[in-house]
Amino acid sequence: MDIVIANESHFKYAQIICDTIAKSAQVRGTGIAKRTPEYINKKLSNGNAVIALEGDKFAGFCYIEVWGHEKYVANSGLIVHPDYRNQGLAKKIKNEIFKLSTSKFPDAKIFGITTGLAVMKINYELGYKPVTFSELTDDPEFWKGCQTCKNFDVLTRTEQKMCLCTGMLYDPKVKAKSTKKPNSKVYQKLKSLKESIFLKKNTK
Ligand SMILES: CC(C)(COP(=O)(O)OP(=O)(O)OC[C@H]1O[C@@H](n2cnc3c(N)ncnc32)[C@H](O)[C@@H]1OP(=O)(O)O)[C@@H](O)C(=O)NCCC(=O)NCCS
């Protein structure tokens, strides 16, 4: 498996990246910000993405978004093709995109919003901490990305204070990484709680 910083030679993978992201969101029945191949190509062109390939076969992807005049960056669009899941690939991709983010934008805070337990675990191990949305970028362009998510009404209802996603932030000024393993049960509970409040689901 090769995990490399993507470039224009990877344009041919833009469509499969978008399709895999969209299909996975459908299967999970969860919200996701939609991406177009043109948008992905921009990330490939400016060296702000990491792609995993097994030979010629697409295996995984993640990209960097820059917000608030480089005060914040987000590692977004993490996707591992179903054929390659549960082998530690997401963790490797996130490690690579994290390294790329800290070398290109050493002063930026790195953040993400996610409903995914796997992503919360990986972020936590990288040194991210769960935070309220008020600690994330207030760049309206970032929050516009949520408009294509099926839970956007929740974000609107709460005046952008909270949603089904959990915000997580890595602050380069707070260097100490946690050596503790994240407590998945806490994240799972938080997720169920939010779903029951915002979506009025019976979680029992
Ligand atoms: C989420 C996703 C990226 C995980 O990829 P992966 O390569 O299977 O993940 P890894 O094998 O690196 O697993 C990392 C950790 O998460 C855990 N994990 C993986 N999938 C999980 C799941 N569905 N639920 C809970 N934990 C999960 C693993 O057990 C591992 O934990 P460990 O370090 O304690 O062993 C992949 O399932 C995917 O592409 N899903 C659809 C898109 C998506 O949800 N993207 C995230 C949007 S924010």
| CB neighbour list of residue 97: distance below 8 Å, 6 or more residues apart | 49, 50, 62, 63, 64, 75, 78
- Ligand 1 within 6 A of 88 CB? yes
Instruction: Look up residue 97 and give its amino acid.
Output: I
- Ligand 1 within 6 A of 85 CB? yes
Q: E-assigned strands of 30-124?
A: 49-54, 57-67, 72-80, 109-114
pLDDT of residue 35: 84
Nearest residue (CA) to ligand 1, atom 34: 121
| CB neighbour list of residue 67: distance below 8 Å, 6 or more residues apart | 73, 74, 137, 139, 141, 142
Using the mean position of ligand 1's atoms as its centre, give its distance from the Cα of residue 118 in Å: 4
pLDDT of residue 196: 81
* Ligand 1 atom with minimal separation from the 80 CA: 39
Q: For the full predicted model, state whether its pTM sits above 0.85.
A: yes
Using the mean position of ligand 1's atoms as its centre, give its distance from the Cα of residue 120 in Å: 9
- Mutate which of 27, 79, 189 for ligand 1? The one with the most ligand atoms within 8 Å of its CB, which is 79
Nearest residue (CA) to ligand 1, atom 44: 116
Using the mean position of ligand 1's atoms as its centre, give its distance from the Cα of residue 69 in Å: 31
- pLDDT tens-place values along the chain, 204 residues long: 999 999 999 999 999 999 999 998 888 776 666 789 999 999 999 999 999 999 999 999 999 999 988 999 999 889 999 999 999 999 999 999 999 999 999 999 999 999 888 999 999 999 999 999 999 999 998 898 888 888 899 999 999 999 999 999 999 988 656 566 667 777 778 778 878 877 776 544
Compute the distance between CA of residue 30 and CA of residue 26 in angstroms, rounded to an integer: 7
Using the mean position of ligand 1's atoms as its centre, give its distance from the Cα of residue 76 in Å: 14
- Ligand 1 within 6 A of 100 CB? no
Place of tokens 């380069």: 172
